[in-house]
Structure 1
Amino acid sequence: MTTIHELGAEQLRTRIAAELERTRARTAGLTEAVDDADLMRQHSPIMSPLVWDLAHVGNQEELWLVRDVGGREPVRRDIDDLYDAFKQPRRDRPALPLLPPAEARAYLATVRDKVHDLLDRVPFTDRPLVADGFAFGMIVQHEQQHDETMLATHQLRVGPPALYAPDPPQPRARVADEVLVPAGEFTMGTSTDPWALDNERPAHPVDLPAYVIDAAPVTNGRYREFIAGGGYDDPRWWSEAGWAHRTEAGLTAPMHWRRDGDGWAYQRFGRWSPVRDDEPVVHVCWYEAQAYAAWAGKRLPTEAEWEKAARWDPAIGRSRRYPWGDGEPTAEHANLGQRHLWPAPVGAYPAGASPLGVHQLIGDVWEWTSSPFRGYPGFAAFPYREYSEVFFGDDHRVLRGGSFGTDRAACRGTFRNWDYPIRRQIFSGFRCARDARPDESGR
């Protein structure tokens, strides 16, 4: 697929229009799948009502594209505070005078009409906000991120199933247990991807010793061994903070699991089914991932280790955009874009493996890393501090790779997600790593 940099102005307008339309179709599907009462209801105190997310994506589109890029008069200045995520904590949003569903949809339609008019006229100049269509790409990614959040809300809602999708593909390849990543320098981050966000920048060299990383995410079968082996009952495997959280929250298994005779079942979007052992485990928090890794005699990979495994190609000596190369993801490469509603079994995407043989780094489950969320050397907030910089510090841990609910527009080898270590309503899993032994590393 032609890159953004290679497109002429008219081709870029066509690409942006298609991405806006594709993204809005997903938003519509997630919000039209339930009735108005469900849209207005808060399904969890840590999630917004779906109708808040719906109007919020329109408000962000208005703020950045209609007002900032276009210099047009506000459509609804009176609602700015209602849909400011920093001013309105999620737990309080149901009590706000939110736009009802019909009014929210009409607002989004009005904003989008103005954006299409703007798109026909805007020059893609060297002004950083509009160069290569960045502001439009930022809005596409923002809406797709909220679509994934709304998908997570659907997983939490009580009631008959509202979403449907075909099963993921079956395994097509055997996958090794571990892969050695040789010592050496690689380029982390990007300075050239035109729609990359500020926390992915700038590209910088990172030198890593040799290490070993799991060739696939940890599966339900492996995680069940941890449960059966008393992993949730033994503080040896948990950090002090992790054990305190496990005890306070009463954690005994991944979120949405329950005992089913001698085995386990899990609920996926209103349907119960037996836990399948070859699927990546999902809905575990960072503390659970960390405890499993300790129990297995390993650790969580650092963010740099994850990215080197995902992007570095030893044959050409450079970092690529994705594990398989620089081309956009297709249905053969990864489980992305809500094409399916749960992780695919290990070995389902051999075309998406890295040159070193690491599988399913993109899609299926967000993967916890050991790293706190911080800026790269030379980081510069753009276009606003609240996208990344205000979250830097030890409170948040980095997740990588995207999930089955992540869209291709908001997922690449450099893309960084972050959350609190207690969170597990997100589509989160993990893989483990360990230091290479001298006989493995050649040193």
Structure 2
Amino acid sequence: MTATGSDAETLRGRIAAELARTRARTTALTEAVDDADLLRQHSPLMSPLVWDLAHVGNQEELWLVRDVGGREPVRQDIDHLYDAFQQPRRDRPALPLLPPAEARVYLATVRDKVHDLLDRVRFTDRPLVADGFAFGMIVQHEQQHDETMLATHQLRSGPPALGAPPPPEPAVRVADEVLVPAGPFTMGTSTDPWALDNERPAHRVDLPGYAIDAAPVTNGRYREFIADGGYDDPRWWTGEGWAHRQAEGLTAPLHWRRDGDGWAYRRFGRWSPVRDDEPVVHVCFHEAQAYATWAGRRLPTEAEWEKAARWDPVTGRSRRYPWGDDDPTAEHANLGQRHLWPAPVGAYPAGASPLGVHQLIGDVWEWTSTTFRGYPGFTAFPYREYSEVFFGDGHRVLRGGSFGTDRAACRGTFRNWDYPIRRQIFSGFRCARDLRPDER
């Protein structure tokens, strides 16, 4: 898009709509509970909801009001309180945080200034604002915190505060696995205007052939691993994984409990029987890796996941999404908190990739075996703290988004990362394997 004349006005309209849509979600997540709940820390892994609320406003002020707009600070005195690097999550409840009413006034004040500068900004002045990038970055940042707040809601005790209709039922039968032929594909992007620095640049990756699960691993399959003593047998675990499993006493996915002869799963304050055809969720990397070893398979690499999701064998090009380049709709994927748990396998045939791989986008973040690093030619933009400071062996890459991920923060190139012990996130996985000689 050339952001001049009518194109610039179209871009302004899109930005305004995305800002409003995102803020409506933030408001719903924070108005669903009372002030005491907003101030409470529901887990040492998470911030009080009121911290996330003011933090998204502070980031909007820093990047849009002060940097893009060149305006005077609204509340420079609180910058240090909402600096995620200065303030560890476990310490945030003790900070002099803005109370809920004051936080909401702060967000409204910042947003008024953003609307004012949006009417005047030139989208050709510098890279930060080209194609509205800074605004897109702030939309994605707020949506990421909305998903974090949704995870906090899942951890909170007390009566249910959120509701949503159930996801659709299966519409097709999905194969067990799909063979992906050897050859090159284009990974990452150099053209998506709101893609973040770790998704860039586009580069060629040549992979040997492999097989990948046609759908994420389901609760039913995972229950077989549990029933076979998977959590009690160190053969299936790495040394690091087994030490973590023992230290934390892991016996099943987070939020599961025994229910007679079966299992129940607590979802946002409501208990329900574990459904076998839904993707398993709330497992850490070590659990996913142990299951894969038990099953005689492995976790896919990040490149294998992306080729399965984006590569079109007919044209040889990489699509933006498995189904094409169009933005996701309710027919394609379980995204945006439209539902409050993963959809059963086969519920989104319109979202399958050309190879027949299903539910790569939405439902559950999928652990890969890859550690988080920059692509060849990576350049930090607009600041090192978004991606670069996390590079190294400490974080594993997750791909695809979850039912709590918004469409603005999810693409075939989008990369998430976390510590391999984390499972409060909406994380699942699918398996892969090398091809046998007769399959090559």
Normalised by the size of structure 1, how large is the TM-score? 0.98
Answering whether residue 200 of structure 2 is matched by residue 219 of structure 1, we say no
Aligned to 2:431: 432
**Alpha-carbon shift at residue 5 of structure 1 (Å):** 11
Q: Which secondary structure does the structure 2 equivalent of 1:273 belong to?
A: strand
**Alpha-carbon shift at residue 37 of structure 1 (Å):** 0.2
Equivalent pair of 1:5/1:194 in contact (CA under 8 Å):
no
Inter-CA distance 320–6: structure 2 relative to 1 (3 Å threshold): farther
Aligned to 1:351: 350
Describe how 1:17-96 pairs up with structure 2 within 5 A. 17-96=16-95
* CA–CA distance in structure 2, aligned partners of residues 279 and 54 of structure 1: 31
Equivalent pair of 1:188/1:304 in contact (CA under 8 Å):
yes
Deviations 1:129-155 (A, max 9, x none): 000000000000000000000000000
Equivalent pair of 2:199/2:415 in contact (CA under 8 Å):
yes
Aligned to 1:277: 276
Aligned to 2:201: 202
**Alpha-carbon shift at residue 437 of structure 1 (Å):** 1.1
Deviations 1:102-145 (A, max 9, x none): 00000000000000000000010151100000000000000000
- Structure 1 unaligned blocks of 5 or more: none
Runs of 4+ residues deviating >6 angstroms: 2-7
Equivalent pair of 1:55/1:108 in contact (CA under 8 Å):
yes
Describe how 1:377-416 pairs up with structure 2 within 5 A. 377-416=376-415
Equivalent pair of 2:32/2:161 in contact (CA under 8 Å):
yes
Aligned to 1:147: 146
* CA–CA distance in structure 2, aligned partners of residues 3 and 276 of structure 1: 48
Inter-CA distance 6–345: structure 2 relative to 1 (3 Å threshold): farther
Describe how 1:364-375 pairs up with structure 2 within 5 A. 364-375=363-374
**Alpha-carbon shift at residue 3 of structure 1 (Å):** 11
Q: Which secondary structure does the structure 1 equivalent of 2:232 belong to?
A: coil
**Alpha-carbon shift at residue 375 of structure 1 (Å):** 0.3
AA matched with 1:81: H
AA matched with 2:281: V
AA matched with 2:312: D
Bigger shift: 384-393 or 123-132?
123-132
Describe how 1:66-215 pairs up with structure 2 within 5 A. 66-215=65-214
Deviations 1:349-387 (A, max 9, x none): 000000000000000000000000000000000000000
* CA–CA distance in structure 2, aligned partners of residues 272 and 283 of structure 1: 15
Equivalent pair of 2:283/2:423 in contact (CA under 8 Å):
yes
Equivalent pair of 2:187/2:303 in contact (CA under 8 Å):
yes
Bigger shift: 2-11 or 428-437?
2-11
* CA–CA distance in structure 1, aligned partners of residues 314 and 350 of structure 2: 17
* CA–CA distance in structure 2, aligned partners of residues 31 and 151 of structure 1: 10
* CA–CA distance in structure 1, aligned partners of residues 228 and 125 of structure 2: 59
**Alpha-carbon shift at residue 7 of structure 1 (Å):** 7.5
AA matched with 2:301: T
Equivalent pair of 2:3/2:123 in contact (CA under 8 Å):
no
Answering whether residue 333 of structure 2 is matched by residue 334 of structure 1, we say yes
Equivalent pair of 1:5/1:132 in contact (CA under 8 Å):
no
Deviations 1:300-319 (A, max 9, x none): 00000000000000111100
Equivalent pair of 2:2/2:8 in contact (CA under 8 Å):
no
* CA–CA distance in structure 2, aligned partners of residues 65 and 78 of structure 1: 17
AA matched with 2:422: R
**Alpha-carbon shift at residue 439 of structure 1 (Å):** 1.4
Equivalent pair of 2:3/2:124 in contact (CA under 8 Å):
no
Inter-CA distance 302–5: structure 2 relative to 1 (3 Å threshold): farther
Equivalent pair of 2:147/2:404 in contact (CA under 8 Å):
yes
* CA–CA distance in structure 2, aligned partners of residues 282 and 16 of structure 1: 32
Bigger shift: 13-22 or 3-12?
3-12
Inter-CA distance 6–390: structure 2 relative to 1 (3 Å threshold): farther
* CA–CA distance in structure 2, aligned partners of residues 378 and 4 of structure 1: 27
Aligned to 2:246: 247
Q: Which secondary structure does the structure 2 equivalent of 1:212 belong to?
A: strand
Deviations 1:60-80 (A, max 9, x none): 000000000000000000000
Q: Which secondary structure does the structure 2 equivalent of 1:313 belong to?
A: coil
* CA–CA distance in structure 1, aligned partners of residues 93 and 167 of structure 2: 35
Deviations 1:156-191 (A, max 9, x none): 000000000000000000100000000000000000
Normalised by the size of structure 2, how large is the TM-score? 0.99
User: How many percent identity over aligned positions?
Assistant: 88
* CA–CA distance in structure 1, aligned partners of residues 4 and 174 of structure 2: 36
* CA–CA distance in structure 1, aligned partners of residues 438 and 357 of structure 2: 21
* CA–CA distance in structure 2, aligned partners of residues 125 and 153 of structure 1: 39
Deviations 1:274-330 (A, max 9, x none): 000000000000000000000000000000000000000011110000000000000
Describe how 1:292-303 pairs up with structure 2 within 5 A. 292-303=291-302
* CA–CA distance in structure 1, aligned partners of residues 154 and 169 of structure 2: 23
* CA–CA distance in structure 1, aligned partners of residues 2 and 397 of structure 2: 27
* CA–CA distance in structure 2, aligned partners of residues 145 and 344 of structure 1: 21
AA matched with 2:237: W
* CA–CA distance in structure 2, aligned partners of residues 155 and 207 of structure 1: 40
Equivalent pair of 1:4/1:194 in contact (CA under 8 Å):
no
**Alpha-carbon shift at residue 440 of structure 1 (Å):** 1.3
Deviations 1:203-244 (A, max 9, x none): 000000000000000000000000000000000000000000
* CA–CA distance in structure 2, aligned partners of residues 34 and 50 of structure 1: 10
**Alpha-carbon shift at residue 433 of structure 1 (Å):** 0.2
Q: Which secondary structure does the structure 2 equivalent of 1:266 belong to?
A: strand
Inter-CA distance 417–5: structure 2 relative to 1 (3 Å threshold): farther
* CA–CA distance in structure 1, aligned partners of residues 197 and 3 of structure 2: 17
* CA–CA distance in structure 1, aligned partners of residues 2 and 273 of structure 2: 42
* CA–CA distance in structure 1, aligned partners of residues 134 and 343 of structure 2: 33
* CA–CA distance in structure 2, aligned partners of residues 364 and 120 of structure 1: 37
Deviations 1:231-262 (A, max 9, x none): 00000000000000000000000000000000
